[in-house]
Amino acid sequence: MKSLSGMAAQSGMGAARKAPARAAASRVDRARRVALLFTAPAFAFFILLSVYPLLRVVWQSLRYANLVNPSVSGFAGLDNFRTIFEDDDFFPALGHTALWTGLSVIGEYCLGLVSALALNAKIRGRGLFRAIIITPWVIPIVVAGMNWSWILTPEYGVLNLWLVRLGVIHEPIAWLGRPDTALLSVTLVNIWRSFPFYTISLLAALQAVPSDLHEAAALDGAGSWARFRFVTLPHLRTVSLTLIVMHVVWTAVNFDFIWVMTQGGPLNSSETLPIMIYRYAMQSFDVGAACALASMMMGFMATVFFVQYYANQRLGAARTS
């Protein structure tokens, strides 16, 4: 009898212990369901506005489609991709895209890093300078592009006027009207507009660097360059990688700046892949070819994203080890 009563008491104690655990689990499940319920509309919008259009583009890249001729239809297989590769403008546009992206990202990062270091120093009025430097970034691309088109025009552009008066050039130059200067001019304008984003991001990372590390390095005899190389730069690695990957994607797919300033001209000297997509879809009305080229660019962006993800994973593993 004693053993039976002891077993009953133990079972009762076990049930009493499990009851709070079950209650906690049910609360967690209920909170999870409520969270899913609240996030369902956002997830539905994401599917509707992002996933479905992307899948639609991939599907259309495998079909014949024309905006003005509904009779053009049917499964195309890889014909649209073959059209892209056989286009004489494709490889020049690919080179322009690589040049435009590479020079833009390098210029933006270097200028952003220099300006961030300057604004991180204890200088008089740095709060005002920090507020002013963001101005180019908040100007809409179309507005900035049109203003710079006026500045660079040879007839009444301010830049040509100043350069002629300073004796740098002898006569006004059509910066956007010459094949050898058009793409470079748009690239410099893009650097001017985008570098403040780097500045603000890198400045935030610089302010997170512990000051005692710099003090310890200085006590050990490290100069300014050594402190920057071995103390500051390692703390900027993750932010720098993220910024570079983001802007590689943003710049490679940028359409607005080049279209507003040159429309890919003159003589296609500043035509990039997004400009080619527009021409295929809105001028040649070949939706299949436009979607094929867009799918290729999506593949490139996905590759860049996964490279950045695994690079960040390796950096995180290296820090913890």
Q: What is the pLDDT of residues 179-212, one digit of tens each?
A: 999 999 999 999 999 999 999 999 999 888 887 7
pLDDT class for 35, splitting at 50, 70, 90? confident
Instruction: Look at residue 274 in the predicted model and tell me its pLDDT.
Output: 94
Q: Model's pTM, two decimal places?
A: 0.81
Q: What is the pLDDT of residue 9?
A: 47
Reported as a pLDDT band with limits 50, 70 and 90, residue 1 is very low
Higher pLDDT: 306 or 164? It is 164
Looking at residues 104-128, what average pLDDT do you find?
A: 89
Average pLDDT over residues 233-262: 90
- Lowest-confidence region among 8-12, 39-43, 171-175, 196-200: 8-12
Mean pLDDT, range 272-284, rounded to an integer = 93
**What confidence score (pLDDT) does residue 23 get?**
64
Q: Look over the chain and give the mean of its residue pLDDT values, rounded to a whole number.
A: 85
The residue to which tokens 């190389």 are assigned: 229
**CA-based nearest residue to 247, from 123, 134, 132, 102:** 102
Q: Which of 111-115, 179-183, 268-272, 307-311 has the lowest mean pLDDT?
A: 307-311
DSSP H helical segments within the chain, as ranges? 2-46, 52-60, 79-86, 90-120, 126-133, 135-138, 141-152, 158-165, 182-207, 211-219, 224-227, 233-252, 256-261, 273-278, 287-320
Residue 87, classed as helix, strand or coil, is: coil
Q: Return the higher-pLDDT residue of 5 and 176.
A: 176
Q: What tokens were used for 52? A: 């479905």
Between 11 and 170, the more confident residue is 170
The pLDDT value given to residue 319: 65
Q: pLDDT > 90: what percent of the chain?
A: 44
Residue showing tokens 């979607």: 291
Q: Is 89 exposed, middle or buried (0-12, 13-18, 19+ CB in 10 A)?
A: middle
Residue 48 confidence (pLDDT) above 90: no
Q: Which residues contact 143 (CB under 8 A, 6 or more apart)?
A: none
pLDDT of residue 2: 46
Contact 77, 62 (CB under 8 A): yes
Q: What percent of the chain has pLDDT over 70?
A: 90
Q: State the pLDDT confidence band at 320, using cuts at 50, 70 and 90.
A: low
Q: At residue 286, what are phi and psi to the nearest 5 degrees?
A: -90, 90
Lowest mean pLDDT among 163-167, 231-235, 238-242, 297-301: 231-235
**In the chain, what is the straight-line distance between the N-terminal and C-terminal CA atoms, in Å?**
59
Q: Would you state the pLDDT for residue 313?
A: 77
Domain 90-270 has CATH 1.10.10.10: no
Supply the pLDDT for residue 81. Answer: 93
Which residues touch 119 (CB under 8 Å, ≥6 apart)?
A: 126, 129, 130, 133, 199, 203
Q: How far is CA 60 from CA 50, 77, 127, in A?
A: 15, 10, 51
| Residue 220 predicted with pLDDT over 90 | no
- How do the domains of the chain map onto residue ranges? 1-60, 90-270
pLDDT at res. 213: 79
**Band of pLDDT at residue 87, cut at 50, 70 and 90:** very high
